[in-house]
A = this chain, B = another copy of it.
């Protein structure tokens, strides 16, 4: 099929120099229209496609980006990362970049370090920045461009995010306005994740702008694992919450299922909403009110940002993408 044609083959066939062929194809440097046409013609004919490794070597860049994906218990199956990764990969492909997966367990930087050491990626996307900012430090030290999806501990980091804070604020406000009697409960996962911090901040802002104090008995932060989750829910029920807000889709599914298990009806007995949507939440009966963020588009935008940086354009220090409030029957 592809007989590994190289520039030199084209040059010989056309009786010109390899340099000219290179220039004709890359568009850098002046080549006569006539020559360029001949080269492009021949290139197609021979089905030439450049050896990217040679190109990489010569240019000292790889046309790869690395994407750090968390691989921890509960989060590892979260649809967000998969959708985000697909968005990234698809977009990169369009610009002839490739996407390297850096699967990372619980803050372990060894795989990232390996990729950096091997110089196999031109830039890095961190899909779930952590509070400690270890990865960011590593990247900054090496001078490797990177973007974090969500707030980073590194104030200099280029970040992009869905408008979690704003969304959470708006959804919380909506729920406050339309609540039935009873307090609002909140369950949020690990506070090591910066996204959970944003969510909490949005929640707080809504509560405070309503003039009320932030409830301390019905707000659970840093809830990880089923056991803790179960305890939190029990607690919220005892305190007669009228509504439970879940930090993300996974937590929400647990909540919905646990409520079903003890015979509580949504929304009759209690309302439920989620700060993050996924197809699963729409499948329930009743479907669950949630903030929708389009992980795939976020991924694409992130990749776009990073590639622009790699290609020398300068990037917004902080980008915010919109959200959508999906008010569904679980809160009606």
Chain A contributes a number of interface residues (CB within 8 A of B) equal to 58
Q: In the complex, what distance in Å separates the CA atom of A119 from the CA atom of B115? A: 19
Q: How many copies does the complex hold?
A: 2
Q: Is A276 an interface residue (CB 8 A)?
A: no
Task: Report A74 CB to chain B, min CB distance, Å.
Answer: 8
Point out the residues of chain B lying under 8 angstroms from A56, CB to CB.
Answer: 53, 56-57
Q: In the complex, what distance in Å separates the CA atom of A238 from the CA atom of B326? A: 33
Point out the residues of chain B lying under 8 angstroms from A100, CB to CB.
Answer: 64, 98-101
From known contacts A53-B56, A118-B49, A142-B2, infer whether A77 and B261 are also in contact, taking CB-CB under 8 Å: no
Q: Is A141 an interface residue (CB 8 A)?
A: yes
Q: In the complex, what distance in Å separates the CA atom of A60 from the CA atom of B6? A: 14
Check A82–B77 contact: CB distance below 8 A: yes
Check B285–A77 contact: CB distance below 8 A: no
Q: Is A310 an interface residue (CB 8 A)?
A: no
Task: Report A46 CB to chain B, min CB distance, Å.
Answer: 13
Interface residues in A41-76 (C-beta closer than 8 Å to B): 49-54, 56-57, 60, 62-64, 67, 69, 71, 76
Task: Report A206 CB to chain B, min CB distance, Å.
Answer: 28
Q: Give the residue of B53, B83, B99, B284 whose beta carbon is less than 8 angstroms from that of A101.
A: B99
Q: Give the residue of B50, B83, B98 whose beta carbon is less than 8 angstroms from that of A76.
A: B83
Give chain A's interface secondary structure class. Answer: helix
Q: Give the residue of B62, B99, B114 whose beta carbon is less than 8 angstroms from that of A96.
A: B114
Q: Is A120 an interface residue (CB 8 A)?
A: yes
From known contacts A99-B100, A101-B85, infer whether A93 and B118 are also in contact, taking CB-CB under 8 Å: no
Check B260–A1 contact: CB distance below 8 A: no
Interface residues in A87-124 (C-beta closer than 8 Å to B): 89-90, 93, 96, 98-103, 105, 111, 114-120
Check B119–A52 contact: CB distance below 8 A: yes
Q: In the complex, what distance in Å separates the CA atom of A257 from the CA atom of B284? A: 5
Check B120–A53 contact: CB distance below 8 A: yes
Q: Is A237 an interface residue (CB 8 A)?
A: no
CB closest chain-B residue, reference A295: B77
Extra contacts besides A53-B119, A64-B100, A77-B79 (15): CB < 8 Å? A1-B141, A2-B116, A2-B142, A52-B118, A52-B120, A53-B56, A53-B62, A69-B86, A71-B90, A77-B83, A93-B111, A98-B100, A101-B101, A260-B260, A280-B280
